[in-house]
Amino acid sequence: MRVLLGVTGGIAAYKVALVVRRLKEDGHSVRVVPTEASLHFVGRATWEALTGEPARSGTFENVPSVEHVRLGQRADIVLVAPATADFLASMASGEARDLLGNALLATSAPVMVAPAMHTEMWHHPATAANVATLAARGIHVIEPASGRLTGVDSGPGRLPEPEALVAALYAVAHNAQIDVTVGSGADHGWADLGGVRIVISAGGTREPIDAVRFLGNRSSGHQGFALAEAARERGADVTIVAANVSLPSGEGIARIDVETSAQLADAMRSAAVHAHVVIMAAAVADYRPAQTHATKIKKHGTGHTLELVETEDILASLVDSKHPAQIVVGFAAETGDDAGGVLDYGRAKALRKGADLLVVNAVGEGVGFGDVPTSATILDAAGGTVAHIEASKWALAHAVLDQVLARLPL
């Protein structure tokens, strides 16, 4: 499928990079046409690197190939995301003031637009009239999600998550009904976690061996950061304790960076004092070297024995010290073996830890870690299954928060 992707000048343009990547992973050809305004948010080089195609904006940048017509003619489907209020007005008026505007006038392919703007702009009568005009012409319009916007504002106007955009695009391509709730959080009440203070750990701890080496794990922090972003969208006051995570934290999320399990334990205990909900999504080392060397251990050709000692069980400590109304959620990354399966070990851990909820997921080489779909079972304190999710980390984050919300005191 040949996808023509228009990107206009909104801050949500950064999300669209993930749309491009997922379309390419599915084997589709993608050509990005950014407006000049959008290049203030995501540069041309990003689109060209992701697609392997030029990302031109101007009508006269490649005149001999007549791109202003050919792009629209050759597209199997067109998506404009984010679509700003200004661009919707231009599109409704049939203007062709740049390459994207020309391509839209020249295409006979299905067209889908994903508006994103501040709530007041979305609710303005002029925007509503423009959207109605486009819909009357057969343009597929995805309603924006509700959630945190630029600055301190929240409300309807947020660009849906990449999973929702891709799912909607495929629905349009197959002439099926669009489900804009897929992966978007749109099926959850806006601000249903308003006023709730949530502390989340993310990433993987590193236990130093010497000046250059450490014991670590493959945790990337994607699940913890998805939880933080989802909680913030639903109105929570979020603090994330990040163990060796390079991911950016969203606006309005307080962040504490740590390295070792001891540092993570101290930071979580301190932050949990005033929290309503504590979520331990970080992968914590079970062992640390008994001795740390201040300089690099040299290679002598005789081998080296490393003595390990157990680290603190942070989740158990948080459960023991929680106040009566506090909810504690743990994560258990498990692998099965001859003695039992992933869920067997998860249920045993749920009974042993005593957390209100335990999220059990299978991990290993290429499974569970990183920005990949996940399969997880949510258990209660007695080891009973309350939910099973096979979807994106974003969808799992909302499923966990749904269970948390159901247990919060009224």
Using CA atoms, how far apart are residues 71 and 99, in angstroms rounded to an integer?
Answer: 9
Phi-psi region at 23: left, alpha or beta (left = phi > 0; alpha = psi -120 to 50): alpha
Per-residue CA distances from 351 to 250, 354, 384 (Å): 34, 6, 10
Q: Give the ranges where 52-144 is alpha helix by DSSP (H).
A: 67-74, 85-92, 99-106, 119-123, 125-136
Residues linked to residue 263 through DSSP beta bridges, in sequence order? none
**81 membership: H or E segment, kind and range:** strand 77-83
DSSP state of 181: T
Residue 201 φ/ψ, nearest 5 degrees:
-100, 150
DSSP state of 406: H
Phi-psi region at 76: left, alpha or beta (left = phi > 0; alpha = psi -120 to 50): alpha
Closest to 51 in 3D by CA, of 74, 70, 34: 34
Per the structure block, which two tokens stand in for 303? 């081998």
Using CA atoms, how far apart are residues 395 and 399, in angstroms rounded to an integer?
Answer: 6
Q: Give the ranges where 111-236 is alpha helix by DSSP (H).
A: 119-123, 125-136, 162-173, 222-233
Which residue numbers are catalytic? Answer: 217
Q: In angstroms, how far is CA 285 from the centroid of its own chain?
A: 25
Is there a contact between 288 and 309 (Cβ–Cβ < 8 Å)?
A: yes
Using CA atoms, how far apart are residues 314 and 260, in angstroms rounded to an integer?
Answer: 12
Using CA atoms, how far apart are residues 54 and 40, in angstroms rounded to an integer?
Answer: 17
Check whether the bond before 156 is cis (ω within 30° of 0).
no
Using CA atoms, how far apart are residues 346 and 7, in angstroms rounded to an integer?
Answer: 44
